[in-house]
Structure 1
């Protein structure tokens, strides 16, 4: 993500310009959260994400309105209707993309790549890894796809963004 933001040149007299540009990018890169009713208070910039914490609805901004793409309390795609957290706890890789939510069992061949491919087919999205240790060969990312999970011995949350 560092390549998305600019740092003012040392000694620059217009240091505020890149800083303000960074704030504009942050409005898109950082997920907005609040109640479904409060969603109208946030400008729906193209590509911005909004999570309604009271309903679990997930929205993507299109520049003029918030479009619902799914929900954490159910699915609008081919998924089972379980929450993302429950699907992950059950050992599934979960893909949340514009148009739906799908889960892929770890017993299937290449579930992480399959989830990334599903998001890529829909212009991007988020892939959530199941809790615990998983093993999969090389994976290929698509534009606007994010991978969420816990990495390393410490088990700290980590995100890979494209």
Structure 2
């Protein structure tokens, strides 16, 4: 077996590190200026913790907005926790960085998309992953970093 550098996974780690750095700064200093975030995450990830009613409403993925009202933003090496307001109901959320699918800051037209990364040799699930790649990111004229060009065929 020939060893190679897995640039796709290295890029994912670097981009998740960027999100971690940004959220740590926001936790410490608050959101600067007009910055705000749309974060879409996989609600089926085993380490995601959300209220049962949110899980029932968003069984596969959910997008949250961090903008006007949020509390208790805490960032760890593995993810972040935050309390957000859903119809005047504050709800705590725990979101691991591995569950994040998109991170967008529309105020500066910045966005990251994490494509589903299937195990090698798991060909049967490839079509489902391909469908997920065509989900639009909620931002206008942003440059989305796509990792497909770095993946092995």
Q: TM-score range by the shorter chain?
A: under 0.3
Q: What TM-score do you get using the length of structure 1 for normalisation?
A: 0.24
**Higher RCO, 1 or 2 (CA under 8 Å, sep at least 6)?**
2
- Comparing both structures, which one devotes a greater share of its residues to helix? 2
Q: TM-score, normalised by structure 2?
A: 0.25
